[in-house]
């Protein structure tokens, strides 16, 4: 009798451990999808993504060289003096300096930006824009940066002047405040400067997205499609904004290149970011990183300024010292890459799980992972994924989808996958 009861208790546990569909082979199903990207296409994807590892390093080196040149040459001090001559009110000098600094650094960084943002993207077949169109977008970003940096420099240096010892803590709050405002205003004022947003056409797919959004209590009066195909071949979507500016958007590449199940899988993932409050969490974790960097700056920068008076920087409250602060911050941010990647990757993994439950389209999810792997390495090693991936790898995502399929679709069968719509 006791043995029978024990057996009866163990059967459900064993069945749960095996999954609700023991005949479905997760490893084989995962491998079938991974094999869709092979040969030259796989090699090209790996080369593109692995090159990005070096861009992180070289980007920091370029930043240090540019900012260092501004300091050593005395240009930064001259820009401050020029700003001071034009602005009589001392408190507004950082704003004037911020504008001049933004213009100068835009020009100095332009060769690097052209290579990383245009030449390299075109070499790997990801760019849809002409150089002229790309440059126009960069000039638009410059215009935005001029306004934002004038305000940010004013706020940060006001805090440094007022709170000599604790500016690093209050300054972190200022940065988070600017980011929050950017998230609030971005969908309404900034993103439309770069792309045209139109209502998604009525039909079964739109109805499906609206139903998913309403099930998660996400405002779905409007579903927008962005014409990003004129810039890039990448697929993307988002639930962006805060409060009254929240909106659901997907780009035309996603709509035109993928199947309805793939679109639903992506939208479920993006809705997960909203429902799980990932914007708030990212602001928190990013703010923690900024706090550490600002604390380091408050300890390192004054010593370096005192040691090298020929730079013309008077003290840490002098806006002419901005290149020094940014050079140190660039190095620290590069060193913090694993931290940044892990925080983002954790949120992305949570959104993946949410999206699988919301869309119930594991094969669509797996197909999207393959499409994204056109420019993301599909099967990295575990250490490589930890250090450099800010999203789960394609292999990780496909395995998650196939495990979900086994656990939640009892009648699921093995079938050879294709990427046909």
- Candidate list 270, 318, 374, 385, residue with the active-site label: 270
Check if the beta carbon of residue 184 is closer than 8 Å to that of residue 207.
no
**Is 60 exceeded by the pLDDT of residue 2?**
no
Annotated binding site for Zn(2+): 269, 273, 348
Give Cα 323 to chain centroid, integer Å: 25
Kindly state whether residue 167 falls inside one of the protein's structural domains. yes
Distance CA 354, CA 264 (A): 12
> Once rounded to an integer, what is the mean pLDDT over residues 86-107?
93
Q: How many CB atoms sit inside 10 A of residue 139's CB? A: 10
Domain containing 164: what range?
A: 54-194+280-340
pLDDT at residue 20 in the model: 64
Q: How far apart are CA 309 and CA 191, in angstroms?
A: 43
Predicted pLDDT of residue 12:
41
**Among the listed ranges 45-54, 151-160, 233-242, 275-284, which one has the minimum average pLDDT value?**
233-242
- Catalytic-role residue among 121, 228, 261, 352: 352
Average pLDDT estimate for 253-268: 96
21 — pLDDT class (breaks 50, 70, 90): confident
Token match 């090699």: residue? 43
The predicted-structure confidence for 374-416, as pLDDT tens digits, reads as follows 999 999 999 999 999 999 999 999 999 999 999 999 887 877 8
Of 375, 389, 394, 371, nearest in space to 125 by CA: 375
Establish if 63 belongs to a structural domain. yes
Assess contact for 224 and 248: CB atoms under 8 A: yes
- Quote the percentage of the chain above a pLDDT of 90: 84
Q: Is the pLDDT of residue 420 over 80?
A: no
Per-residue confidence at 272, pLDDT binned at 50, 70, 90?
A: very high
Q: Are 37 and 371 in contact (CB under 8 A)?
A: no
Average pLDDT score over residue span 52-81? 96
Q: How confident is the model at residue 38 (pLDDT cuts 50, 70, 90)?
A: very high
Q: In the sheet that 247-251 helps form, which strands lie side by side, from edge to edge?
A: 197-199, 223-226, 247-251, 237-240
Q: Do the beta carbons of residue 298 and residue 60 sit within 8 Å?
A: no
Residue reference for tokens 């638009």: 140
Q: Kindly state the average pLDDT of the residues 221-234.
A: 94
- Is pLDDT above 80 for 170? yes
Asked if pLDDT for residue 3 goes beyond 90, the answer is no
The whole-number pLDDT of residue 413 equals 80
Q: State the pLDDT confidence band at 417, using cuts at 50, 70 and 90.
A: confident
Q: Say whether pLDDT at 10 is over 70.
A: no
What would the mean pLDDT of 221-237 be, rounded to a whole number? 94
Alpha carbon separation from 97 to 66, 84, 86, 93, 305 (Å, rounded): 17, 8, 10, 6, 18
pLDDT for the residue 88: 76
Burial degree of 98 (CB within 10 A; 0-12, 13-18, 19+): buried
Dig out the tokens for 80 from the structure.
């401050």
Q: What is the mean pLDDT of the chain?
A: 92
The answer as to whether 6 is a domain residue is: no
**In-domain check, residue 350:** no
Question: How do residues 101-139 score in pLDDT, each as one tens digit?
Answer: 999 999 999 999 999 999 999 999 999 999 999 999 999
Predicted pLDDT of residue 30: 96
| Residue 229 burial (CB count, 10 A) | 18
The per-residue DSSP string of 265-302 comes to HHHHHHHHHHHTTHHHHHHHHHHHHHHHHHHHHHHHHH
Query: Would 59 be classed as within a structural domain?
Result: yes
- Predicted local distance difference test score (pLDDT) of residue 86: 80
In a domain, 68, yes or no: yes
Binding residues: 269, 273, 348
The pTM assigned to this predicted structure is 0.89
Has residue 171 been placed in a domain?
A: yes
Residue 199 annotated to the active site: no
**Main-chain dihedrals φ then ψ at residue 231, nearest 5 degrees:** -110, -40
Residue 318 in any domain: the answer is yes
Query: How many domains does the chain divide into?
Result: 1
Let me know if 352 is a catalytic residue. yes
Instruction: Report the distance separating Cα 361 and Cα 355, nearest Å.
Output: 9
């Amino acid at each position: 009798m006791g043995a029978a009861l024990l057996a009866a208790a163990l059967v459900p546990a064993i069945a749960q451990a095996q999954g609700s569909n023991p005949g479905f082979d997760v490893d084989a199903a995962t491998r079938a999808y991974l094999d869709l990207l092979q040969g030259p296409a796989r090699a090209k994807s790996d080369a593109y993504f692995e090159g990005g590892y070096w861009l992180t390093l070289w980007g920091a080196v370029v930043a240090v060289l540019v900012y260092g040149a501004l300091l050593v040459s005395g240009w930064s001090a001259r820009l401050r003096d020029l700003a001071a001559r034009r602005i009589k009110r001392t408190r507004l000098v950082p704003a004037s300096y911020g504008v001049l600094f933004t213009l100068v650094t835009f020009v100095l960084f332009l060769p690097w930006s052209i290579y990383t943002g245009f030449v390299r993207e075109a070499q790997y077949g990801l760019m849809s824009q002409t150089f002229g169109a790309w440059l126009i977008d960069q000039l638009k970003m410059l215009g935005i940066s001029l306004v934002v940096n004038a305000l940010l420099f004013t706020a940060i240096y006001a805090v440094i002047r007022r709170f000599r010892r604790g500016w690093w803590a209050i300054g972190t709050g200022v940065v988070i405040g600017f980011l929050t405002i950017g998230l609030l205003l971005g969908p309404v004022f900034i993103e439309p400067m770069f792309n045209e947003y139109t209502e998604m056409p009525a039909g079964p797919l739109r109805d499906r997205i609206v139903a998913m959004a309403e099930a998660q209590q996400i405002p779905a009066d409007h579903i927008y499609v962005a014409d990003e195909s004129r810039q890039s071949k990448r697929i993307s979507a988002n639930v962006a904004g805060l409060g009254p500016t929240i909106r659901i958007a997907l780009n035309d590449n996603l709509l035109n290149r993928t199947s309805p199940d793939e679109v639903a899988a992506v939208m479920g993932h993006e809705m997960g970011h909203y429902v799980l409050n990932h914007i708030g969490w990212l602001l928190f974790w990013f703010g923690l990183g900024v706090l550490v960097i600002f604390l380091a700056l408050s300890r390192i920068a004054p010593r370096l300024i005192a040691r090298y008076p020929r730079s013309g920087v008077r003290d840490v409250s002098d806006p002419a010292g901005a290149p020094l602060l940014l050079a140190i911050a660039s190095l620290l941010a590069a060193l913090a890459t694993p931290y940044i990647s892990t925080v983002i990757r954790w949120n992305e993994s949570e959104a993946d799980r949410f999206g699988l439950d919301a869309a119930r389209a594991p094969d669509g999810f797996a197909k999207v992972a393959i499409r994204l792997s056109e420019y993301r390495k599909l099967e990295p090693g575990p250490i490589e994924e930890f250090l450099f991936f800010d999203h789960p790898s394609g292999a990780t995502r496909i395995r998650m989808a196939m495990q979900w399929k086994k656990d939640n679709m009892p009648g699921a069968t093995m079938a050879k996958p294709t990427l046909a719509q």
